[in-house]
Amino acid sequence: MFQGETAITVDDKGRLAVPTAYRDLVARDCDNRLVLTYSPFDAGCLWIYPQKVWEQVRDSVMAKPNMKASVRLLQQKLVGSAAFLEPDANGRVTVPPSHRNAVGMEKKAVLLGMGDKFELWSEQAHRAQIQQTLSDGDLGDELLDLKL
């Protein structure tokens, strides 16, 4: 289970270090195999799944009939753009240039542990998303019954 927010530095080769708090978990529970793909909901965000979790997501998405453009787009964004990541001996993974460029990720990023996956945000997009959420003040009626 992943949780928490970590500021991440991306080097000139597109590498970022998996936070030390997650390295053993990624090695043990994920067999050091991760999958990176685009978030279908947020423009400045990438999703990173453990491979086993990814395979379930992938199979679920690909089982949908692709006669609708929205389903094809989801399949393209998630499955067509998926890239395997494997931490090196120093715990770093390389984010492909196409993915970094698409979300505007430069030197600074934010990694969020979101339960069964990570969200990797460009620093600018994460800041904008947080500011929008704080200024909107409305998280939706479906959340009113949560005990926060």
pLDDT of residue 1: 85
Residue-by-residue pLDDT tens, the chain, 148 positions: 899 999 999 999 999 999 999 999 999 999 999 999 999 999 899 999 999 999 999 999 999 999 999 999 999 999 999 999 999 999 999 999 999 999 999 999 999 999 999 999 999 999 998 888 777 766 666 666 766 6
pLDDT of residue 138: 62
Domain limits for position 98: 2-137
Residue 144 located in a structural domain: no
Residue 112 located in a structural domain: yes
Residue 142 located in a structural domain: no
The pTM of this model reads 0.91
Residue 52 located in a structural domain: yes
Residue 147 located in a structural domain: no
CB atoms within 10 A of CB 16: 22
Rounded CA separation 41/51 (Å): 21
pLDDT of residue 137: 63
End-to-end CA, the chain? 19
Instruction: Find the CATH number of the domain harbouring 60.
Output: 3.40.1550.20
Q: What is the DSSP letter of 40?
A: S
Residue 15 located in a structural domain: yes
